[in-house]
Structure 1
Amino acid sequence: MKKERLFYLDFIRAIAVIIILLTHYNARFTEWYMLPAMPEKAILGLYPFNLYIGDLGVSLFFIISGAALMYVYQKKCSIKEFYTKRFLSIYPMFWIAYFVAFLYLFCQLKHIVNPDVPKINILLTIFGMDGYLSGVFPNFYILGEWFLGCIILLYLIFPLLRKLLTTYPKTFCIGIVLLYIPFTFYNIVPMFPSSKILFVRFPEFVFGMLFVLYIKRSRIWMAAAGILILILNTIFKPELPVSFQTTYIGISVFLILVLISYLADTAILQSICKSISKYSYAIFLTHHIIIDEMANRFPMAEISTFDSYILFLVCCCLTIIASWTLYHLHARIMKTIQNLASFRNAKSIE
């Protein structure tokens, strides 16, 4: 029996998608792309609640990922079924998107991306780990972001996390905290940002699982506490590790948004959020390269605020078109493969 959709997950996922779109567009005005940086040109700002906007978006994605998986597999988790579904939900669409982007950039550059990288390193791309390991191993990273590799690792161990949480909840949560603290507050792995370390992302992912399993609803006092935390963090700007701030701000915003979703639960908003959620992975795969290609065609240091908003809208429209195309191309290919497999099985029976 198919489970009822939880509106708050669609609602928060839609907001997280918009945040990520804003993040990669606004990044064009930061020191990563522009010197001197021009943060005043960023749409809606770069640091809400004294936290980089991209860190907030990623945190929300980790939380809703844990919540969504726990909601689906709360009663039962067949290992074979789980890994099959995760594989099919991640890799085929990623490979299709990568193949198209690879050919596009090949035609643009007149050579492959990173031609000096050993060809064997294409395995990192095949397994979706190129973005995650881009600062450690040279590879052919084009799209997918580091988040993809990190979430793949979390999916791999989700059955174990679920088992430990449902069997030994208190001991498990204490263990998560003990793993989290040293990697968050100390530079244990210098060549790897703490935000990418699995143990640092455990609290967000596990909080999502805990919310579905035990908390279930966001109460007024939870949202009020979240608002107070956001206000204090904005005013006092504590000099705490960014990863630590990301954790408690991400959880606070999640609790606030869950409560807001109860008040904003209308048929129209449900339809909008459901559509964004449906195409969220395709948007995740396509938006960055589209934003880069569009921004490279405009004088970003000279563009007016009004024109910048127009350009962002254009990037969003192109992302919607590309994501819709990718989603349905993937569906058509998978359906064709399924039909071929069924035909071969029928022939073998004959």
Structure 2
Amino acid sequence: MKKRIIGLDILRDIGVIFIFFYHFFVEYIVTAGGTDGAMYGYNYFFNILARPASLFLFVISGYALMYNHEDEMPIGKYFKRRFKGLFIPFYVAYTLMFIISFLVNNEVVGHDLPIKLFVYTILGVDGVAQLTGANFYLIGEWFMTCIVVCYVLFPLLAKLLKKFKYITLGVLMVWYVFLLYIYNPFPITQLMNPAFIIVYFYLGMFLQNLLGENKINSKIRVACAIISVLIFIYFCMIGFIPSLEWMKMKQVQTEIIYFILSMTMLIALRDVEIPSDKIVYTIITYISGISWYVILLHHRIMILFYSHLSVENYNHRDIFALLLACIFITWALSIFVREASNRVKKLI
């Protein structure tokens, strides 16, 4: 049995926690129209790691597939395994939130749209497709679309990795720079575009193939940890100290900094070791184990809350109570979806 890499679990936990809190505060502003200045500050703080978190979640996905030798599986077995792990939870969570949304909003999602558009949801790509036109999108957002594309391309990328490891990396980096700095032909920015995300995914595959079971040099890990902290401090300073706003960069340059942060965090944390009998190990692996279900569900739950609550008179205690409600309901529904998905997997 392959040894569990607890460092990747820590990264996954950091990712889902920051994304969860970022969405809670951004929906307070966007959906509910809240004006409490403190909430804007919280929103900015959690957004510092929300973007790099989403990036290193893709890096982790590529790393994990190579670590588990899924590149060596027969193609049919690989896609069956990915379908069971990705689409069954998505379908179960979608069905659950479809029913809840109908009961709350008194109308079905996409009630006036052509039913043929539901094919985007069946394929799991409605999150990005809805950025260019209405469809039956409900959960999963752009993250689901991008991970579907990554998983579909994985067998091809794995072959290229084995035969042309550095050439493929070079081509993808040129592609990345071209799209980022020269011309992006797609009607989607780099923030949610699978054409960009595939580069992060391949980097995870590349790192696992390059490093294997070898430990990363401790000096390199310390250096990466220091860089990660310094980047985090930089974003805090430009966000909370008005006199330093001149240090802010444009979106393209910021994306590069986020990319660097995601990679340094991965290198700094990959070889962390925690005894499996420690309570902190149990907590880390538990959160990691339900992270996919949380990612699927949490944002829609928050939107449902904020679209039906009036928050203009909320004080900080009221907002904290709502946060606790979102945490509890997301956790409870995540457990339900996980158990229901496991039952469906056994049936097929």
Which bracket does the TM-score occupy, shorter chain normalised?
0.7 to 0.9
From the superposition, tell whether residues 40 and 64 of structure 1 become closer, same or farther in structure 2 (CA, over 3 Å). Answer: same
By how many angstroms is 1:127 displaced?
0.9
Task: Note if 1:255 corresponds to 2:267.
Answer: yes
From the superposition, tell whether residues 74 and 128 of structure 1 become closer, same or farther in structure 2 (CA, over 3 Å). Answer: closer
By how many angstroms is 1:7 displaced?
0.8
2: CA distance, partners of 1:239 / 1:104: 40
| SS state at 1:131 partner | helix
Tell me if the contact between 2:48 and 2:232 (Cα under 8 Å) persists in the aligned partners. Answer: no
Q: 1:223 aligns with which of 216, 222, 225?
A: 225
CA deviation string 1:197-219 (max 9, x = no partner): 22322332222223322235452
Structure 1 stretch 153-162 or stretch 166-175: which is displaced more?
A: 166-175
Equivalent residue, structure 2, for 1:54: 50
From the superposition, tell whether residues 225 and 263 of structure 1 become closer, same or farther in structure 2 (CA, over 3 Å). Answer: farther
From the superposition, tell whether residues 223 and 108 of structure 1 become closer, same or farther in structure 2 (CA, over 3 Å). Answer: closer
By how many angstroms is 1:320 displaced?
0.8
Name the amino acid aligned to 1:146.
W
From the superposition, tell whether residues 118 and 52 of structure 1 become closer, same or farther in structure 2 (CA, over 3 Å). Answer: farther
Q: 2:184 aligns with which of 160, 185, 188?
A: 188
Equivalent residue, structure 2, for 1:346: none
Name the amino acid aligned to 1:245.
I
Equivalent residue, structure 2, for 1:318: 329
Q: Which has the higher contact order (CA 8 A, sep 6+)?
A: 2
Equivalent residue, structure 2, for 1:342: none
Name the amino acid aligned to 1:248.
I
Equivalent residue, structure 2, for 1:125: 121
TM-score (norm 2): 0.85
Structure 1 stretch 314-323 or stretch 112-121: which is displaced more?
A: 112-121
The 5 A counterparts of 1:117-196 are: 117-186=113-182, 188-189=184-185, 191-196=187-192
Equivalent residue, structure 1, for 2:9: 10
Equivalent residue, structure 2, for 1:243: 255
Structure 1 stretch 152-161 or stretch 268-277: which is displaced more?
A: 268-277
Tell me if the contact between 1:203 and 1:247 (Cα under 8 Å) persists in the aligned partners. Answer: no
By how many angstroms is 1:244 displaced?
2.6
By how many angstroms is 1:180 displaced?
0.2
| SS state at 2:128 partner | coil
2: CA distance, partners of 1:325 / 1:177: 41
2: CA distance, partners of 1:66 / 1:256: 18
From the superposition, tell whether residues 52 and 78 of structure 1 become closer, same or farther in structure 2 (CA, over 3 Å). Answer: same
Equivalent residue, structure 1, for 2:240: none
Tell me if the contact between 1:282 and 1:327 (Cα under 8 Å) persists in the aligned partners. Answer: yes
By how many angstroms is 1:178 displaced?
0.6
| SS state at 1:192 partner | coil
Equivalent residue, structure 2, for 1:344: none
Name the amino acid aligned to 2:317.
F
Task: Note if 1:211 corresponds to 2:223.
Answer: no
2: CA distance, partners of 1:54 / 1:332: 32
Identity, % of aligned pairs? 24
| SS state at 1:317 partner | helix
From the superposition, tell whether residues 79 and 37 of structure 1 become closer, same or farther in structure 2 (CA, over 3 Å). Answer: farther
1: CA distance, partners of 2:65 / 2:302: 30
Name the amino acid aligned to 2:315.
S
TM-score (norm 1): 0.85
Q: 2:313 aligns with which of 297, 302, 306?
A: 302
From the superposition, tell whether residues 329 and 213 of structure 1 become closer, same or farther in structure 2 (CA, over 3 Å). Answer: same
